[in-house]
Structure 1
Amino acid sequence: MIVDATIHSFSLWHHFAHKPGFDALAYADLAASLGFSGISLSLNDPNYRHLGGREPERMERLRRHLETLAFSLEVDTSGTDPAHMSELLGVASLMGATSLRTYTRHQGTPAEMAEATARDLGAVMPKAGALGIVVVLENHEDFTGPELAGIVERVGHPNLKILYDYGNSQMVLEDPEAALDAVLPHVHSVHLKDHVMVRPEHAGRLTVAGVPVGDGFLPLERLTRRLLDQGLRRITFENVWAYSAPIRPGRMPMDGVVPGEGAFAFLEPPFDPARIVLDQSRLAPDRLVALEHDALLRGVAVFRRILSRLGCEGRWRRAG
């Protein structure tokens, strides 16, 4: 089975922030050295975050470098404002990206957020279709699986799909497997990562925390098997060591969710910084970079083993 194994730039966010000379080109080279066949690149701030600037020359330079590596490219933003999305669709096209990921930034009740998000996306999908770019809406700490699927079905455009994140449903107290049940027919891409839960007495609030892939409690192999059985052939690895997010206010546990059990099991102290960091300010920048690199390598090794057990060994390079 051929799988297009790619990596997200968030996997190296401390490298981008603190390692001298580490830029999008260095990131692509590191991804190639690890055997990946493409990258996802965050453009999620006014200066296009991990691209490092908005200049067309910078975009063209990366595009040429990725062509040399025979790499695929996906790009990320956030928010669904039509003017912003139109701008980023143009950037994605210029860079040769196949998809543009986003998530809502609307506030209000889930129903109000869903209505506003669908309205925005309906306005920009004709441009996405004309450019041949898939817009992928992520379950990003905001919507449950049924809510996200409802938005995509309401818009009803063939170029609007879903990015299923293995752990983000936990922020709305939804089981990751239940979330996948709801969105599976619409999934275009995924973020494979790993999480633990942290008790309020240790993190201030009930919190989801990122750990190296394989060090958490998410059912990674079961989720991946279901996605492969559905026909997915692109899996994006995401190292989220040192990331954390609280449970969204107002959300109550959905069916089958018990904090402290299963995918929602608590990690108990003492907390080893090689596994979990809840306060990054306590670590020096060079220490953050070193720990992130170690977490990346450990996680990639687990990722390879998961793919191997599922019949994808030695099939990292891009198909076709």
Structure 2
Amino acid sequence: MTNQRHEPESRPVSNRIDRRDFLHKATAGAVLLSLPDMPRFLKDTRMGVVVHSYGNRWNSKANSQKYPGFANAVDMLNHCSQIGAGGIQVVVNGWSADFAKSVRDKREKLGLYLEGSIGLPKNAGDVAKFEQDVANAREAGAQILRTVCSSGRRYETYHSAQAFQDMRKNALVSLRLAEPVLRKHKVRLGIENHKDWRAPELVDVLKQINSEWIGVTLDFGNSIALLEDPMAVVQTLVPYVVSTHVKDMAVDEYADGFLLSEVPLGQGILDLPTMIALCKKHNPAVTFSLEMITRDPLEIPCLKNDYWATFGELPGTELARTLRMVKEHKYKAGLPRVAQLDTEKKLAAEEENIVACLDYSKNRLGLV
């Protein structure tokens, strides 16, 4: 069952490294700890915040006195420091060198960690911009970057097995273009399980790339949308973890499948203490970054034929297990909905959820 407890179980390098060596390095945190300017606060386990948690506030044009929009990473650093977060994961795209330095100055002053979220180069012509973004992120103090390989959710974006295989081929091209840049700048990249890859598929991609500079941004709840057991996903991907998206999830039934929502930590079905313990075991330097998205439930149409177009021979037992889990763990209070709220109330709900999650992380998860 999804909610059962499980027991937690700089030198020049080539771009080829076997899995055992990768695991050794990830477990020891050797790559991060060997860097000469390793920030002392990376040993701090306070939970940080992913920019997507502030989907309503990031670049908001709303005229709100209480919840003013964040125009950039500096604004987000200031606010997250005020609410007691340990750091941020934020989009790095087209920063100037001067802005990167201002982010670094602010980050160092506040004592927060910084991780970047970055797009991959699609072809050789994109590599120069990708390298500039990596260099700016590094200048700002980010030694970990997060990326995605798909433009959208698997079951909404790809409507044939060939379309998904084309995405996979393109992802491998992009990652092979990115790897030498990451190695040069000594920055590690985490590929998120972003409702695109099932866990074994993502592991296969990592084995194809076979680099210590590319691992996983482990999202604790996304893969429920792909009929995966979240604890099994963590156990499969955690040997490669370089960063995280921490969240709790709630489910409910609907006619074409099930509904899926992020909810404040501790209110959902995920075994967060075990997931966090596994991440710490495999990578003691890993940060825990909150992705609490305040929105209406996502519809997962797993009873429609088109949903299955990319899954090949996925056994029906995966569907049966997931629907049984949904039936047994329906969110009794009713999944949260915000579309009907005005802008100020949406901003208030977003902030309330994030602060509640940070409080839970300190008081119940020991991330202090």
**TM superposition score category, shorter chain reference:** 0.7 to 0.9
1:198 and 2:198 aligned: no
1:138-157 to 2 correspondences below 5 Å: 138-157=192-211
Corresponding residue of 2:51: 9
Scaled by the length of structure 2, what TM-score is found? 0.71
Aligned residue type for 1:31? C
Residue 364 of structure 2 aligns to a residue whose secondary structure is: helix
Corresponding residue of 1:188: 242
Name the stretch that deviates more: 129-138 or 227-236.
227-236
Distance 2:258 2:278 in 1: 29
Corresponding residue of 1:283: 341
1:217 and 2:272 aligned: no
1:236 and 2:255 aligned: no
1:130 and 2:184 aligned: yes
- Asked whether the 8 Å contact 1:9–1:40 carries over to 2, the reply is yes
Cα 1:184–1:215 shift into 2, 3 Å: same
Cα 1:270–1:6 shift into 2, 3 Å: closer
Distance 1:88 1:254 in 2: 43
Name the stretch that deviates more: 120-129 or 94-103.
94-103
Q: Which has the larger radius of gyration?
A: 2
Corresponding residue of 2:78: 29
Corresponding residue of 2:108: 67
Taking only the aligned residue pairs, the percentage that are identical comes to 19
Corresponding residue of 1:302: 360
1:117 and 2:175 aligned: no
The runs of 5 or more residues in structure 2 that have no matched partner are 1-42, 152-157, 302-306
Corresponding residue of 1:99: 144
- Asked whether the 8 Å contact 2:114–2:142 carries over to 1, the reply is yes
Residue 288 of structure 2 aligns to a residue whose secondary structure is: strand
Residue 266 of structure 2 aligns to a residue whose secondary structure is: coil
Corresponding residue of 1:257: 321
Residue 57 of structure 2 aligns to a residue whose secondary structure is: helix
Corresponding residue of 1:81: 122
Cα 1:54–1:245 shift into 2, 3 Å: farther
Distance 2:191 2:298 in 1: 19
Distance 2:346 2:119 in 1: 25
Distance 1:96 1:226 in 2: 26
- The Cα offsets for residues 125-160 of structure 1, whole Å up to 9 and x where unpaired, read as 001110111111000000111111111111011100
Name the stretch that deviates more: 61-70 or 132-141.
61-70
1:40 and 2:89 aligned: yes
RMSD: 2.8
Aligned residue type for 1:3? T
Aligned residue type for 1:70? G
- Asked whether the 8 Å contact 1:93–1:133 carries over to 2, the reply is yes
The runs of 5 or more residues in structure 1 that have no matched partner are none
Residue 73 of structure 1 aligns to a residue whose secondary structure is: strand
Distance 2:56 2:203 in 1: 33
Q: Offset at 1:60?
A: 3.0
Name the stretch that deviates more: 22-31 or 208-217.
22-31
Distance 2:214 2:144 in 1: 10
Distance 1:73 1:21 in 2: 20
Aligned residue type for 1:104? C
Distance 1:54 1:196 in 2: 37
Counting matched residue pairs gives 294
Cα 1:245–1:87 shift into 2, 3 Å: farther
Cα 1:205–1:269 shift into 2, 3 Å: farther
- The Cα offsets for residues 197-247 of structure 1, whole Å up to 9 and x where unpaired, read as 23224xx76332111222221221221122223243421122222264343
Cα 1:170–1:205 shift into 2, 3 Å: same
Name the stretch that deviates more: 99-108 or 250-259.
250-259
Q: Offset at 1:94?
A: 3.9
Cα 1:263–1:38 shift into 2, 3 Å: farther
